[in-house]
Amino acid sequence: AQSVTQLDSQVPVFEEAPVELRCNYSSSVSVYLFWYVQYPNQGLQLLLKYLSGSTLVKGINGFEAEFNKSQTSFHLRKPSVHISDTAEYFCAVSVAGGTSYGKLTFGQGTILTVHP
Amino acid sequence: NAGVTQTPKFRVLKTGQSMTLLCAQDMNHEYMYWYRQDPGMGLRLIHYSVGEGTTAKGEVPDGYNVSRLKKQNFLLGLESAAPSQTSVYFCASSSQYQETQYFGPGTRLLVL
């Protein structure tokens, strides 16, 4: 079975500052990795995903994440945040290769609050 | 193209009542999923379906039933609601050949 741990439940940051949201996973098989964002009172929207290839993945809204297999991490970063980035962010994994029918295992979520 | 829609948006039930949540997608996706979201626990998979007429249990299936009679619809039923089922319920769908799941806006359920 897979598991995901998001190391920070809340991250406060000032506008235009850089931010890193941390995610570690555990799995005995190869996985795909995802970051989703949830704005208040909305559903989840895909930010970026790692399937294979380059370990640095770029997503929407200026976010990027780096897959580190040796440390089993997939941290999300943005060099300069905006007020509009205030949201809850979820890291998720699925088993690679399609045998799991795309089922996702989510982390607990990190609430990013950007202050002016 | 509406994507994934959920009905209703909000519902209040009394303990023991039943209800059905409807999920519809217009992307011709094979796979559909029901999750529940609780504070500090992320999203947990309740049931999923890999095609019309097929369903399977997820991580937290107890107290819920599902049906997928049409490819575009995935229904989640609560036969006898309990306060522990107070949650936000999300439906999602994905293509058989893609890994991205597309989520609906959610249904907020309160069981008194």
pLDDT at A98: 63
Query: Which pLDDT band, with edges at 50, 70 and 90, does B10 fall under?
Result: very high
Q: What is the mean pLDDT of residues A98-102?
A: 73
Q: How far, CA to CA in Å, does A63 sit from each of A7, A66, B98, B101?
A: 18, 11, 21, 19
Q: Does B11 touch chain A (CB under 8 A)?
A: no
Q: Does B43 touch chain A (CB under 8 A)?
A: yes
Query: Which pLDDT band, with edges at 50, 70 and 90, does A93 fall under?
Result: very high
Q: Using CA atoms, how far apart are residues B88 and A104, in angstroms rounded to an integer?
A: 17
Q: What is the mean pLDDT of residues A80-105?
A: 89
Q: How far, CA to CA in Å, does B42 sit from each of A95, A110, B53, B58, B104?
A: 18, 9, 28, 15, 16
Q: Do B94 and A102 touch (CB under 8 A)?
A: yes
Q: Is A57 left (phi over 0), alpha (psi -120 to 50) or beta?
A: beta
Residue pLDDT, tens place only, A63-87: 999 999 999 999 999 999 999 999 9
Query: Which pLDDT band, with edges at 50, 70 and 90, does A102 fall under?
Result: confident
pLDDT at B22: 97
B85 by DSSP, 3-state: which?
Answer: helix
Using alpha carbons, select from A29, A37, A53, A25 the residue that is nearest to residue A87: A37
Would the pLDDT of B75 be above 90? yes
pLDDT at A52: 86
Q: Does B40 touch chain A (CB under 8 A)?
A: yes
Query: Which pLDDT band, with edges at 50, 70 and 90, does B19 fall under?
Result: very high
Q: Do A9 and B90 touch (CB under 8 A)?
A: no
Q: Which residues contact A78 (CB under 8 A, 6 or more apart)?
A: A18, A19, A61, A62, A63, A64, A85
Name the residue with higher pLDDT: B39 or B16.
B16
Q: How far, CA to CA in Å, does A95 sit from each of A70, A81, B21?
A: 17, 31, 28
- Point out the least confidently predicted range of A48-62, B13-27, B63-77: A48-62
Q: Using CA atoms, how far apart are residues B97 and B28, in angstroms rounded to an integer?
A: 12
Q: How would you label A67-92 residue by residue, b for 16+ Cβ within 10 Å and e otherwise?
A: beeeebbbbbebeebeeebbbbbbbb
Q: What percent of chain A has pLDDT over 70?
A: 98
Mutant choice from B10, B23, B43 vs A, greatest count of A C-beta within 10 A: B43
Taking one residue from A and the other from B, the number of pairs with CB-CB distance under 8 angstroms is 56
Residue pLDDT, tens place only, A32-63: 999 999 998 889 999 999 998 889 999 999 99
- Output the average pLDDT for chain B: 94
Residues in chain B within 8 Å Cβ distance of A106 = 35, 42-44
